[in-house]
Chains A and B, each alone.
Chain A
Amino acid sequence: MVFFERMVRSLSQICDWIAQAAVVAMLSLVVGNILLRIVWKPILGTYDIAGFIGAILIGFAIAYCALEKGHIQVELLVARLPGRAQGIIGSITGILSMGIFSLVTWQCIVLANDMRRVGEVSMSAHISFYPYIYGIAFGCGLLCMVILIDLIKSLVKVIKG
């Protein structure tokens, strides 16, 4: 469990660094496009590329955000319950969360496969969609791993009380 948690944490951190690089890339692209539009001509496909960078930024940041407890949750009730009850509730919500994000991961892979098969590309820059959808699928898969860690911790709470 310790090894698994360390591995997921390291991978999530690396992905977040990639997301941070995507912020800088997006800023550079959009500002570069403004400047080039003024002095010469705009960068072809800026809107498409900015959207793709956005997909990588968010897809690669969601797991680390979950690890840092960044996703909004209502802390009103459960925090006041005893440890074992918190463990039971955490296990139930963990299974539900894992379930929905496993489906999202699977469906992103299905969508990427479809896009790859039909060769769908963006309107102006003619860039393939599918690699970025695989990227989102990877991010969602990693989020499942983060949720799994919390789920295991909740189950331990249920057993040990």
Chain B
Amino acid sequence: MSPGTIATIGILLLIFLFLLRMPVAYVMALIGFFGFAYMTSVQGALSILGKDFWVMFSSYSLTVIPMFVFMGTIAFYSGMGGRLYHVAYRFLGHLPGGLAIATCYACAAFGACCGSTNAGAAAMGKVTLPEMRKYNYDSSLATACVASAGSLAILIPPSTIFIIYGVLVEESIGKLFAAGILPGILLATLFALVVYIICRQNPKLGPPGPKFPWKERVASLSGVVEMLALFLLVMGGLFVGWFTPTEAGAAGAAGALIIALLRRTLSWQGFLDSLADTTRISAMVFIIVTGATIFGHFMAVTRVPFDLSEWVGGLEVSPNVIMGFIIFGYLIAGCFMDSLAMVTLTVPVLYPLILKLGFDSIWFGVIIVLVAEMGVITPPVGINVYVIKGVAQDVPLETIFRGILPFLIALIVCAAILIAFPEIALFLPRFITK
């Protein structure tokens, strides 16, 4: 059998086992091991198993994950999301659909302290949905808005997806973080625009909230100070070159802890829960990245990623059209797969092609995060929608998914804008030294 045929059989088996509910990381390790053993030798495959688990688990560059996850869980349990919403609500709540617009920007701000979409959606859902309900917001608009905007947490740094992408393609995590800032602000604005247009057309869907006097608005700004302080500490340290990404994560987690202690917003139980969440999320991420690494060895020996890049790169089609197809493929795959699994599985295969087509690897990291965001809100396995369903249990899943479409269009528009103007993503990374 040719290497291409073996790789195809491996990929089909992989999909088959995914559908049998076998954990994604285990499947990737299993198929990667057998594929590598078939292509090289059983002894070689056995030795990469032990080595990969040791190398990945003890990797200094991956220690950034538990640190940023810890920062996010402290922000979650200490109620930072609520204070951010409080500010956005006072400034924007009086506009048509103002509470939902405030939700979009509050989610973006919370993304600056938290790098996981689930935590973003859960934290903001708990705070924003009761308010929107109080002002008779359409439940489909309200839930879909927070499910979608919750995904901003992985575009605005820190972000677990950027870290994993950076590790997979050996790209600077600091530069990737910087690349997410402007597209994150752009996407938050596109989400806000979607809400505004919907509510202008049908004001009943999002009636305006109360208008607050400027004195009260300015007074509420203290809720943003802590987020700004954390963001400046983490990103400032990376921009200036004081910190490695792991150090930035640890400094951010320590900063979040100090803020929570000073504000007395984190109970002992909250602290223990944030630790427990950190180990659970970190274990889940590490094992999937390790599984993807083993699977990547198998793919590499079949040379499929390189053959694919040669073949597609040789087509007389514009690279942007090919990128359009890649994004479309991700959109479809994201309907059936978890975003994290999708990224770890596909990036090693597609990366040589991306370079061959002449795209910038930092820019592609931002595109990958955008498609991951699409994946967390598209039916039937959009994880953020399930998180919001957990918060608003009386709202049927279909109602939430029905409201998702305009936000999905905003994500696609954002990707198109980034294809047309890559500088939006590439401008800030130039200032990062590490």
List chain A positions with a Cβ less than 8 A from chain B: 16, 19-20, 23-24, 26-27, 30-31, 33-34, 47-48, 50-55, 57-59, 61-62, 64-66, 68, 70-79, 89-90, 92-93, 96-97, 99-101, 103-104, 107-108, 110-111, 129, 132-133, 136, 140
**Distance from A13 Cβ to chain B, minimum over Cβ atoms (Å):** 10
A-B contact pairs, 8 of them (CB 8 A): A27-B254, A30-B249, A50-B246, A55-B57, A74-B24, A99-B30, A103-B33, A108-B53
Contact (Cβ within 8 A) A57 B279: yes
Contact of A97 among B22, B60, B253 (CB under 8 A): B22
A77, A97, A99 — most chain B CB neighbours (10 Å): A97
Cα–Cα distance between A73 and B22 once the two chains are bound (Å): 6
Contact (Cβ within 8 A) B63 A51: yes
Contact (Cβ within 8 A) B336 A104: no
Cα–Cα distance between A136 and B50 once the two chains are bound (Å): 10
Q: Does B66 contact A (CB under 8 A)?
A: yes
Q: Does B251 contact A (CB under 8 A)?
A: yes
Cα–Cα distance between A27 and B279 once the two chains are bound (Å): 13
Given A27-B253, A57-B282, CB of A72 within 8 Å of CB of B340: yes
Size of the chain B interface, CB-CB below 8 angstroms: 58
Q: Dominant SS at the A interface?
A: helix
| Chain A neighbourhood of B58, CB < 8 A | 51-52, 54-55, 132
| Chain B neighbourhood of A48, CB < 8 A | 60
**Distance from B167 Cβ to chain A, minimum over Cβ atoms (Å):** 13
Contact (Cβ within 8 A) B47 A54: no
Those 9 A-B pairs whose CB atoms lie nearest each other, nearest first: A107-B50, A30-B250, A93-B22, A65-B283, A61-B283, A55-B58, A111-B50, A61-B279, A71-B23
Q: Which residue of A lies closest to B250 (CB)?
A: A30
Contact (Cβ within 8 A) B279 A19: yes
| Chain B neighbourhood of A65, CB < 8 A | 279-280, 283-284, 287
Contact (Cβ within 8 A) B30 A96: yes
Cα–Cα distance between A54 and B54 once the two chains are bound (Å): 10
Q: Which residue of A lies closest to B46 (CB)?
A: A107
Cα–Cα distance between A64 and B278 once the two chains are bound (Å): 12
Q: Which residue of B lies closest to A132 (CB)?
A: B58
Contact (Cβ within 8 A) A54 B66: yes
> Which stretch of B13-21, B207-215, B347-355, B406-414 is in the interface?
B13-21
Contact (Cβ within 8 A) B275 A78: no
| Chain A neighbourhood of B246, CB < 8 A | 30, 50
Given A54-B63, A71-B287, A100-B30, CB of A16 within 8 Å of CB of B338: no
**Distance from A89 Cβ to chain B, minimum over Cβ atoms (Å):** 5
Q: Given A70-B280, A74-B336, A104-B29, 15 other A-B contacts at CB below 8 A? A: A19-B283, A23-B275, A26-B63, A30-B63, A31-B251, A34-B242, A50-B63, A57-B282, A58-B57, A64-B279, A65-B284, A74-B18, A74-B24, A96-B22, A108-B54
Contact (Cβ within 8 A) B247 A30: yes
Contact (Cβ within 8 A) B250 A27: yes
Given A58-B57, A59-B57, A104-B29, CB of A31 within 8 Å of CB of B283: no
Cα–Cα distance between A99 and B338 once the two chains are bound (Å): 24
Q: Which of B37-56 contact A (CB under 8 A)?
A: 46-47, 49-51, 53-54
**Distance from B335 Cβ to chain A, minimum over Cβ atoms (Å):** 10
**Distance from A24 Cβ to chain B, minimum over Cβ atoms (Å):** 7
Contact of A74 among B19, B49, B51, B288 (CB under 8 A): B19
Contact (Cβ within 8 A) B287 A62: yes
Cα–Cα distance between A48 and B63 once the two chains are bound (Å): 11
Cα–Cα distance between A132 and B242 once the two chains are bound (Å): 30
| Chain B neighbourhood of A31, CB < 8 A | 250-251, 254
Contact (Cβ within 8 A) A70 B284: yes
| Chain B neighbourhood of A54, CB < 8 A | 57-60, 62-63, 66
Q: Does B380 contact A (CB under 8 A)?
A: yes
Given A50-B63, A100-B30, CB of A26 within 8 Å of CB of B250: yes
Cα–Cα distance between A53 and B59 once the two chains are bound (Å): 10
